[in-house]
Amino acid sequence: MLFIIFLLNLQVAVYTRYSTTQVKNTVAFKQYKLYTSETTVFKAGNSINLEQNLILEIRQEGIDQVDIQIYDEANKHFRLPSDPPFNYNDVKDPQQFNSYDYDVKVQENNIAIQVQRDDATIFQITDLIFSETYIEFTHIPQNKQMWGLGERNQVGFRFREGIYTLFARDEPNIIEDGKRPGKHVYSSHPVLLSMEESGKFNVMFYKTSSPMDVHYGEDKMKFITIGGIIHIKLFLGDTSPRSAIKKYHKYLGGWMLPPFWGFGFHQCRWGYKNSSVLIDVVQQYQKNLIPIDIIWTDLDYMDDRQIFSVDKHKFPKKDFQYLKGLGVRYIPLLDVAVGVKYGSEDEGYRKGTEYDVFLYSPNTGYRFQGYVWPGDSYFPDFFHPNISKYWNEMHEHLYEQVEFDGLWVDMNEPANFCEGECDWSNHLRDHPKREDKLNNAINFPYIPGQIPLANKTLPPHLLHHGQYLHKDVHNLYGIMDSYYTYLAQKELGKVQPFQITRSTFPGTGKYAQHWTGDNGASWDFLYLSLGQVFQFQIFGIPMVGADVCGFMGDTNDKLCCRWIQLAFFYPFFRNHNNDLSKPQEFYNLGFHVVQSAQKNIHLRYSLLKWFYSIFIREQNHGSVINPLFFIFPEDYLTYRDFVMDTQLLIGEELMGAPILNEGVTRIAYFPDSNWYDLITGLELKGKQDHTLYCSYNEIVPIFLRSGYLVIQNTKENIKNLKSLDNHYRIIAAPLNQEAKGVFADLDNFEDEEKALEAEIIHIKLAVEEKSIKITISQSHSELLIDEILIYGLECSYKQCTSGYYKYNSVFKGPFSLGQDKTELVLK
């Protein structure tokens, strides 16, 4: 379709009448001046002073990507910086194409912008209000099939009617209900995946860090921010939602490949009072035959909760060496607020004041003082030019005290126990007053979420380096922390830096992974956690997980068993709870919990090399844990809520159907394919619902899709990831006599440098009349095959025996593939 500008005379409800004059017009770039004679508009009883002169720019960045910007003519409103970590792949000078997959229409009077394809409007901007502290526009979705706009702790993956706030906030154990006051949590991702009436998908990214409300009701979606500009990027995919998601991820710069060990089982608890407890926890897991690879500590390891410090009496170095000898890695908590009560005796305080990297109060001109776990605290300014030097040196200082393997980056919204600034009379005056940091409070005509913007954080009128207002960069604090923490770990020699962060923003996935924060030990939090994992597949942070068995409140055996079964599918699998709840290490609960952990974690470990290969296959772009409609988008039955919210696919190959309630049966939908129980080979026909049974202490229901194969380690007693060897089982389910699969070309999955460069081995199994032929692409590594299971195939070959069911064939090895051997023939 050719790009066309139409001057429409649509009768639409508007708030401000902006007239339009075109200034520039090329095939790939259009610019307009917008003007209104109106000076004010009233919203919710408040008078808003309008920007009378605006600029509209439309860039056709590709045949399937469009960029729309509306900004003040003086260009004084805040924009996202372009330096890392915000160096997205914007197209400054778009290439011209003969045709595009979309049209853009601009209305001359009462400005309205429509993006259309397949003769339908897929995105629009109408009902515009634009001021320094209030920006609003309306979009009318084609239908209710939308996902994203988070982070939200909401029961159900689909975006539902309500009012939702995007403003990073430390708010534990809360579930989103779409009502006021806002239930917003740790991250801001103004990203929306939509299904069009044509069956195609698109991703809309509202490129702003401003606090935002999204009002969705009566088939309209109203976006309200309190600053910045309107900057919309639209990525147009085909009938697969993953196509649009991949384009968005490529724009962000992709996501990092985490280290292999990060997929192991992690154990944490707030309340591990000394390193002897850590040793005992690890040994108890090993005694109970539950694989474990990483032990964590919360605040307990610090010296009086001062960050970058270690209580050397309770956590001596020798004990961490002992833990390493037990085969586990170590991850400590690291918050952002630096305590002040020890003054220059504390290294974080001393160097921070020396480098002048702490934020200043807009009210006093002295350093801003909040209150967090260390007590009275200063906050780093991540826009300060000295921050990288300071952050690197402080991580080196911590590493000298304890050689951590990764980091847990928390409280980085940033969280503050005061509403804005604490009592000024108690503030330190250990430095000259900074007049240039004084700033008047801002009178906002509208507050997203109807909760004061300073609540549990910093005041919105505080100034960061570069004269950035905190209200404009608040949602960026977490990604800035993650970015500099990533660089600090690289300075320490980490090849694949591993950090789990709480507060995220578009682009965080290049530097960090995510956990979903302080959840509750409840069935609701168990249920909604899968939707959270799906959200972050859209957001570009595929390695994500929730605190297994719940962080707040006492868990129970049934809940914990079901959570273990679901966590089999989490990329990030950590058991963690707080110090006020009863201990919930699996061995501290009932025998059914121990059995569930033994079986499910052992099976997870046996498949982890294949699981990691799926991450490598995606090449840092796209989703890994998929709701069923991501893979079967044309099957309307996959859009039913119970299917969308409770079933998943790892890649395209393995489907999970965990039970997320207290019952022992569930209805699960099996899309168009033949499906086989991964453990037994039982066949279930597709395009229909099936009733599944799973007791609390059994392996989660998991099924192999026909046409595919997976690679499983055959080791029986798996203690940790290091105990995995290169002996495997191929499990295949041919469709039309063929099955295909992938595996990473790695002899040692823990070799991080090689993992980053790893190629994918493509494996094909073909059923022929007199033989089974397995071929692989060229590889450097060798696969030692102990066994080959072929589901859906009756044993009629000399080398095979029958499996558990009649139509299962088992071929016993040893066989080998790889290096110079690219073909295996079974007679």
Contact 760, 613 (CB under 8 A): yes
* Residues paired with 294 in a beta bridge: 266, 329
CA distances (Å), origin 372, targets 88, 169, 827 = 33, 14, 68
Angle (CA) 779-784-788 rounded to 5° is: 105
410 is catalytic: yes
* CA within 13 Å, CB half, 288: 24
CA distance 191 to 207: 9
317: its two tokens: 């170095």
Q: Which helix (H) or strand (E) holds 629?
A: helix 628-631
- Asked if residues 337 and 732 have their Cβ atoms less than 8 Å apart, the reply is no
CA dihedral (648, 610, 257, 150) in degrees, to 10, reads: 10
Contact 699, 600 (CB under 8 A): yes
* From 67, 103, 303, 410, the catalytic residue: 410
**What is the b/e burial string over 91-112, where b = at least 16 CB atoms within 10 angstroms of the residue's CB?**
eeebeeeeebbbbbbbbbebbb
Contact 326, 285 (CB under 8 A): no
Catalytic member of 64, 67, 303, 413? 413
Compute the 3-state secondary structure of the chain and give helix, strand, coil in percent, each to the nearest 5.
20, 30, 45
CA atoms of 327 and 720, how far apart (whole Å) = 7
SS3 call for 606:
helix
Report yes or no: 149 and 190 within 8 Å, Cβ to Cβ: yes
Burial 148-178 (b: 16+ CB within 10 A, else e): bbbbbbbbebbbbebbbbbbbbbbebbbbeb
How distant, in Å, are the alpha carbons of 91, 95, 193 from that of 87? Answer: 11, 20, 22
The 3-state DSSP class for residue 211 equals: coil
CB 19 within 8 A of CB 36: yes
The two three-digit tokens of residue 795, written as one number: 């044993």
- 421 in active site: no
Q: Which two tokens stand for residue 227?
A: 């600053």
Tokens linked to 271: 């309340």
Q: Which two tokens stand for residue 279?
A: 């040793």
Phi then psi dihedrals of residue 744, to 5 deg: -70, 140
DSSP 8-state code for residue 265: E
Listed in order, strand segments (DSSP E) in 482-561 are 499-501, 513-515, 544-545, 547-548
User: How big is the CA angle at 429 (ends 426 and 434), to the nearest 5 degrees?
Assistant: 120
Q: For residue 31, give the nearest of 3, 11, 10, 59 by alpha carbon.
A: 59
Residue 632 Cα distances to 3, 240, 685, angstroms: 32, 8, 16
- 230 neighbors 69 (Cβ within 8 angstroms): yes
Please write down the HEC assignment for all residues of 344-363.
Answer: HHCHHHHHHHHCCCECECCC
Q: How far, in whole angstroms, is CA 730 from its chain's centroid?
A: 31
User: Is 639:608 a contact under the CB 8 Å cutoff?
Assistant: no
Which residues belong to the active site? 410, 413
